Amino acid sequence: MTPVVEEWLRSQGLFTRREVWMPSGVCDLVGCSFNRENLEARFATGYQARSTRQSMRDADNGRPWLPLHERLVFVELKLSRRGEAWRQAWGHRAWGETYVAMPYPACNYRPLNENLYAPVGVLRVDVGVAVLRPAAENLSMHPQALRVVDSVALEYGGQQ
């Protein structure tokens, strides 16, 4: 299932990374699109030596800080244990767009409180990916989301 969803993320122009640690748990897949201009500016100023904490401090002190990302997507993949998938995805919702990806018929499962889980999107996975419910858009500037972006950007930067 992972390669199919990973390809779906890449088809949207997102750089992907597997098994990303978050305070809400390890996320199965993260996709990120970068603002090329901001990314190049950060790399030009010795980006590798900088951390998100330093970057945020620069912003607080009036020095330029540029968000590197335009979109950040989290996907929780589960073949079963559907309730766990919903809880994990809901935990990631504050950091970016969040989806639960499950094969049919597991994807037809609805959580007990649908209003609570409304920001979480649903993906049906078989030979491709079908979006059954889009995730709420969220361009988070929360420090944890920025740490993920910085981490993914370092990996991405080596592939330019």
Q: Note the pLDDT of residue 103.
A: 85
Q: What are phi and psi of 114, to 5 degrees?
A: -65, -30
Q: Note the pLDDT of residue 7.
A: 95
Triad 105, 3, 139: Cα angle to 5° = 90
Q: Note the pLDDT of residue 9.
A: 95
pTM (2 d.p.)? 0.77
Amino acid at 24: S
Instruction: Determine the Cα–Cα distance for residues 8 and 5; give it in Å rounded to an integer.
Output: 5
Q: Taking a C-beta distance cutoff of 8 angstroms, is the pair 93, 119 a contact?
A: yes
The helix/strand/coil state of 31 is strand
Q: What are phi and psi of 41, to 5 degrees?
A: -65, -40
Q: What is the pLDDT along the chain (160 residues), one digit of tens a residue?
A: 899 999 999 999 999 989 888 777 788 899 988 888 877 777 776 655 455 556 555 555 555 566 778 888 999 988 877 777 777 887 777 778 889 898 876 666 555 555 556 678 888 888 889 888 888 887 666 666 777 777 777 667 655 5
Q: What are phi and psi of 117, to 5 degrees?
A: -95, 10
| Short-list 151, 1, 12, CA closest to 71 | 12
Q: Note the pLDDT of residue 94.
A: 77
